[in-house]
Structure 1
Amino acid sequence: MEIFYLLKGMLMGLLIAVPVGPIGILCVRRSLTEGRHSGLFSGLGAATADALYGSIAGFGLTFVSAFLISHELWLRLAGGLFLVLLGIRTLLTQPPAKSCQENRIATGQKKSSMLRMYVSTFFLTLANPITILSFASIFAAMGMAGAKRGYVPIIIMIMGVFIGSSAWWLLLTGVISLFNLKCNTEVLRWVNKISGTLLTLFGLVAVLSMYL
């Protein structure tokens, strides 16, 4: 029976992670410019945040979800401004005069850099508390909200959420990494321009949505 809860959680994690958004753009850009490990650690940060929000929804921690949702505008503002700054920084970043593979070897293995990328996407994902509502509705539809069937099934499903979300980022960064040997400085320059523009637009939309 536990395997079904795990599979349900994995499906939930995939459904939450797959839609294209700023996190996906970040992971793709980091995978191309800094190596697969950079993109994967970025994705794991998002997967951890998804699992945390899934825990809040699954265990029926209404006081936590109510607090986060009541401060949604401020969280969205913080996340939006972060995206704008990150987008502008990406636009202004000049790729090094070395191949993607050389760049991966030079920078992709730095532990401090990996931690920074993990933390950045973790908090960026947390800046969207509406994710809690998505998990809450799914848990409620399954009759799982508030630990109605005990804590063990919920814990197993939350583990599945993390595994499912992580699996998506592992697949995405794995596919993207196949292009590492083929790209060059000019390609990386365009990657920075496109991803920087998209990140900035995502951030501006998040900020402007406060006034709509």
Structure 2
Amino acid sequence: MSLQILLLFIPACFALNMAFGPNNLLSLMNGARHGANAAIAASVGRLVAFVIMIAIAALGLGALLMTSEVLFSAVKWLGATYLVWIGLKVFLTKSPAQSTSPTLDSNYSLFDMAKKEFIVASGNPKAILIFTAFFPQFIEPNAYAQSFMTMGIIYLVLEAAAVAIYAFIGARLGTYARNTNAFRWINRLSGSLMIAFGVLLAFARKPAT
């Protein structure tokens, strides 16, 4: 890819990476509850989902999802249901006893957190739209494979950077929420936002073709 295209692609891509959505909210929540390192490690699940999506889009199969009402609706409703379920669980989570430890919750499984990141990322059909509609705008026709691979790597690196930013913000917020009341309100706000994302996803319409 030419330097001119990269200078256009990178800032536009990072804006998409930083957009506040379900996965970035998840990193924020994980950072507040378990610390930045755990939140960053859990994001491997999200990155794996995006690697799969990039490969699907590169092979041209992503267009099938975007044009098929049945497939789009199936993925959309599964993703929306999962987001609402996560939101309800977080909203109803009981506050732990007041603690002076650096993190609010030391009982967690990185595998479960990564699995949740994977499901949230792969359950949003709008995510693959980035790779099927956004990437092609920067593709060099005479170097399709190289362009797609370069953009895919850049996207994943910038996504990791966005994860780190949200995770550290979450961890910082977590230090102010060691008392029971603050923790309860963080859970209610986070859970409500996750439910809202699920409802918005449920009402999302397939992009016009």
TM-score range (shorter-chain normalised) is 0.7 to 0.9
2:121 to 118, 122, 125: 125
* TM-score (structure 1 length as normaliser): 0.79
1:76 deviates by 0.7
Structure 1 stretch displaced more, 39-48 or 70-79 = 39-48
Report what 1:24 is aligned to: 24
Report what 2:168 is aligned to: 174
Match for 1:159: what amino acid? I
Mapped partners of 1:5, 1:77: distance in 2: 36
1:66 deviates by 3.4
1:128 deviates by 2.1
Report what 1:142 is aligned to: 138
What SS does structure 2 have at the residue aligned with 1:180? helix
What is the aligned length? 201
Report what 1:68 is aligned to: 65
Report what 2:197 is aligned to: 202
Report what 1:86 is aligned to: 86
Distance 1:8 1:160, change over 3 A: farther
Q: Which runs of 5+ in 2 are unaligned?
A: none
Mapped partners of 1:98, 1:4: distance in 2: 53
Structure 1 stretch displaced more, 132-141 or 184-193 = 132-141
Distance 1:34 1:98, change over 3 A: farther
What SS does structure 2 have at the residue aligned with 1:45? helix
Report what 2:54 is aligned to: 54
What SS does structure 2 have at the residue aligned with 1:190? helix
> For each residue in 1:26-81, what CA deviation from the matched residue of structure 2 results, as whole angstroms up to 9, or x when unmatched?
22122112222332234443333334323333x2x22x213433211111100111
Contact 1:5 1:157 in 2 (8 A): no
1:205 deviates by 2.8
Report what 2:185 is aligned to: 190
* TM-score (structure 2 length as normaliser): 0.80
What SS does structure 2 have at the residue aligned with 1:168? helix
Mapped partners of 2:79, 2:9: distance in 1: 26
Distance 1:126 1:167, change over 3 A: same
> For each residue in 1:126-177, what CA deviation from the matched residue of structure 2 results, as whole angstroms up to 9, or x when unmatched?
22223333323333222346xx405344323211111011011112212332
Calculate the aligned-residue CA RMSD, in Å.
2.9
Report what 2:154 is aligned to: 160
Mapped partners of 2:123, 2:64: distance in 1: 13
Q: Which runs of 5+ in 1 are unaligned?
A: none
Sequence identity percentage = 22
Match for 1:85: what amino acid? W
